[in-house]
Every structure is written in C-alpha cells, then in structure tokens.
Amino acid sequence: MEITRLIDTKMKKALWIVGIVLIISASLLSQEATVGPGDIVVIEYVLSINGTIADTSNELIAQKANIYDTERTYEPLTIIIGGNPGEAAVAPSAVERALLGMKVGEEKILRLYPLDAYGYWKEENVVKMNREEFETNSGIEPQLNETYQWGNRRFTVYQLTDEFVWLDFNHRFSVIPTKATVLLEEFEKSAEARVGNVVSYQGQYAVVMEVTDTDVVLDLNPAVFEFKVEIIQIKKA
C-alpha cells in the first residue's frame, strides 16, 4: 500500500506540473503580438491630403482614385520601427509612433498637420546643376516634373534648360504654407509660442511653424494628412 500511495503521489505531482505548463503555454499563445520598437511591420495604407487620396498600397484603390501608376508595384509597405541608422524613413515618425502597441488586423486612422507628416516645401532643397554633368554622373536623361532615384535620394526635376537642371529634393508630399507673421509679444498674450502648436487665428485654425526672438510664423489653414493603416504582419525584433 505504501508503494501504491508513493506512485500515486508522484503521478499527481506530475499531472499538476503538466497542467500548469499547459495553462502557462495557452496564456502565452493567447497574447497577440503587438508592435514594439525595432519590429518589422507590414501595413496596408491609404494617404489622403485634405480629403483627396494621394497615395496607397492598394492597387484597386489607386485605380478608383485616378492615381494609378503603371510603373509601380502596389504591395503592403514594410516599416522598421525606429529605422536603421543611415537609412531614410519610409513613413513619418509620427506614424511609426502610432503603430506602437497595435496588433495584426488592427486598423487606425491618423490625422496629422504638415510638421508631423512630410513637412513644408523649402527653396533651399532645390539644387541647381550643370545638365551635362548631371546626366554624365547620374545616367539620367531628365524630364521636367518627373521623379527619379539617384543613390538613396529621390528628387523631382523642378526646372530644366539646355544648360542647367534644378533638382527638387523636397518630399513629394511637402506643402507650401500660407504664412502669417505675428509679433511674439502679442501672440503670447493668448497662446503658447511653441512650434507645432495648433491655435485659432482670425477665426481659423493655424499651426505655429517657427518662433524667433521677435515673431511667430503661422501656417494658416494648414493641410491635413490622413493616414489609414492596417497591420498585416509583425516580425518581432
């Protein structure tokens, strides 16, 4: 009888251990992976600017929106959260931050102003080059308003003559703001002078673009970027 009880006790302990392991395993399996820093995330997306679709990973949506590009392959976008050192980001950092904590199959709509999206168009990002030198070094025969890839940089031919070519390195979705300048002293009577702050100015929304020692520069009626994203896959770091 003593032998039997000993065997029964060991079997019960073993069963308890197996049960606990199964419970822990089931619990871990039931916890869906969420996006974290360094993860590789695959998303479907639709980008609209002021309510008009400007870009998408979905071919059918592109066709319906009349933005279909026959030279492009439409497929989900792959993002490394936080990016790799030395590599250009494929999505605004505000979008990357918004993906944190999301799960496969989850959708989210983000609305951003230019500073958090693709920024403002700047004249200093337009580079003038000798056309012959450019064609020799790049192997590109430039066409006005066409976009090209040279190394790891994308640019659009902004202006073109027989002798020179102007390369626009601004992001293709950067916007030209409608500016207003307000004295800093006056502005701070009713709002905080902080870049990116959204304020009411003369009855309309405005975004603080720049703050100097004396002035606040506003973007009146700023463009609204809407990103609709869906998580397709998460590869943990």
Strands of 198-201's sheet in order across: 179-183, 215-220, 204-211, 198-201
CB 119 within 8 Å of CB 174:
yes
Alpha-carbon distance 160 to 171, whole Å?
19
- Map residue 35 onto helix, strand or coil: coil
CB 115 within 8 Å of CB 222:
no
Residues 168-193: what's their mean pLDDT?
95
Residue 32 structure tokens: 């869906």
Residues 96-110: what's their mean pLDDT?
96
Q: Which H helix or E strand runs over 126? A: strand 126-130
> The pTM is what?
0.79
* Average pLDDT of the chain, as a whole number: 88
Alpha-carbon distance 225 to 155, whole Å?
21
Q: Round to the nearest angstrom and report the end-to-end CA distance of the chain.
A: 55
pLDDT reported for residue 18:
52
Residues 192-229 have pLDDT tens digits of: 999 999 999 988 999 999 999 999 999 999 999 999 99
Residue type for position 234: I
Residue type for position 120: Y
Q: Which phi and psi (to 5°) does residue 134 adopt?
A: -60, -45
Residue type for position 45: Y
Strand pairing category for 198-201 and 225-235? unpaired
Residue 224 structure tokens: 């609204």
Residues 185, 186, 189, 195: is their CA dihedral positive or negative?
A: negative
Count of CB atoms situated within 10 Å of the CB of 65? 16
Alpha-carbon distance 211 to 222, whole Å?
17
Count of CB atoms situated within 10 Å of the CB of 222? 23
Give residue 151's pLDDT band: very low, low, confident or very high (50, 70, 90): confident
CB 8 within 8 Å of CB 15:
no
pLDDT surpasses 60 at 84:
yes
- Residue 234: beta bridge partners? 41
